[in-house]
Structure 1
Amino acid sequence: MTVPIPTDADLVPTERMQWILDRLAQEDAGLGDPTLLPAPEGRALAERTNTRWNSDLPGMSVREFSIEAPEGHTIQCRLMSPENADSLIMFIHGGGWAFCSMATHERAARLLALEAGAHVLTFDYRLSPEAPFPAGLMDCRSVWTAITAGHPDLASCSGPRALAGDSAGANLALALLLMVQEEQLPAPDAALLFYGVYDADFETASYLGQKDGPGLTRAKMMRYWDWYVAGAADRMSPLVSPLQASDDQLRKLPPMFFNAAAIDPLRSDTENLVRRLRSLGRTDPYSLYPGVVHGFMQMSLELPEARKAAAEAGRAFRELTGS
């Protein structure tokens, strides 16, 4: 199985993607780059600009509850449940480990729940730079532990379980898989990883080719990394850069599904990880979406590719877990 290589045409925004980019440029004119603001201000801006993607929410049962972390703080959780669901997807939101929340990703999470026919659990983990690595990852571990320990608010989630995440959330999901493996904790049955960040190598083909966006840029990613893990040596940990995991660690991971956006500085992260997995004899499915930018699954109100990606992810969940 070969890893698809984007053509020049794949790197040109689709007509609808370009319409969205033009609209965003007009709506966000003068707002500035949130990664150049003090973190609380950038975070507030990211929350505000993401509200446009979270209207007309798919209907389903929603339950909110909290989990007490071992460190003494409370993790707020939201369980979204379509009818007749019994499986569970723990979804970790992206945002450069520094921005975004359950609220910014609610429509995407609900759409995944509908397409997978599964409960989807989202939560607000601690964010950098106030809480750099490993704070957010430890919160993910706390939520996973609550799931496997039979938290009372998750009693209806008796079927297969998967981890999912987009961008930095995909990084945290894959890091959590490696942590679970290392600590010999109960493991998920599968993982769904969307346009993730898996290494701190800023010289890849996509980091150089798509360094100026549109959307996510190389400079923004470098600032996110500086907030999350400042030291170059610390970035070599597989729990920070999962591409640094050993072959044995990667072989032992559960079945995974990957996707990537063609117009994305992070595209090569997924390509390089999938190539490595294929070299180890694994056949984890991977889809490349041409003509779209990083974060495109947030845009399901306006972008057909976002709805297609949610449907494909839901189908992959059912196939990988046999549910």
Structure 2
Amino acid sequence: MQKIYTLIVLMAVVLLGTSCNDEWKDEQYEHYIAFRSPLNNKGVTEIFVPYSRKGADGSSQEGKSNYQLPLIVSGSTNNQQNIKVNVAHDPDTLQTLNLARYQHRTDLFYVDMGEENLGFVSFPGTVDFKPGEDVSLLDISFDFRGIDMSQKWVLPLTVVDNASSDYKSHPRKNYAKAILRILPFNSFSGRYSGTTLQNFVKGDEGSGSIVANTVTGYVVDDHTIFFYAGNIDEDRTDRANYKLFAEFNGAETGGIVNFYVENPELNFVNHKDASYRIIEEMDAVRPYLLRRYVIINNIDYEYSDYTAVPGSSITYIVRGSLTLVRTINTQIPDEDQAIEW
């Protein structure tokens, strides 16, 4: 009798196990369409794109680049059908984000680079998924020539669906929408250490200096970046008036940096010819990591801050050096993916 009971229990366990395993063959969730674009604490997804991207043959056209944005089909099983997903420019979501985050500070608003009249960006209106594919890529093309990086450029996108669509966009809004903060870069742009760059009020150099932990260099073209003069940063409403351009002329290991401005009201005077050098070394612990240093020496200039105090102008002296460090994973072939931002 005991053997019969044992056999019955074993059969029940087998049947229950088979039933549980069969459940996982069925879809447990919906096959929603979503972007792979996680948001940061500023409500956007930072995308670093080369100012000029090299083609397969090693050639490039200045200011032309692209980025491939992943779209995914969610669910516990693989997609088994052909899907044509509609993607569109989404200025309404950007407007909502700007108002919610910055309210009346319109000078801090993100600027929509997807406006057709600007000509900075283009992308196809559809993305195709084939059976067996759960990830597809939206190829976004950029033309950065003439872009002013004193503006905070973003590209807002959305997955579009309707009653006739054979798919559903993800019900979570931050999944079905992408707010891409576009950050083009060249070999010299990025966050420099500013601890050795000193800012003095002219005529009062003995009273101490103003030092910033980081100083950001923004792309202008393949060989030129701009900083904000002195201690000006992107929180200043009139920051665009204080752009200090740095043109790098030389070989791969170093050369001359030509500093200049386009705004005559800065009363800019350059006291020395600045230079730069580039040092590359492999990481001692992780030998596949390359550390690339760009060091700008002999910075010595003066400029006038003519808007901080209404009706008066303050002249500053800026002296010292700047250092940019880039960590590059040599095992990754794509330049923008290889850099550890």
Superposition TM-score, scaled by structure 1 size = 0.25
Superposition TM-score, scaled by structure 2 size = 0.24
Q: Which protein has greater RCO, CA pairs closer than 8 Å, 6+ apart?
A: 1
Q: Which has the larger radius of gyration?
A: 2
From the two aligned structures, give the one with the greater helix fraction.
1
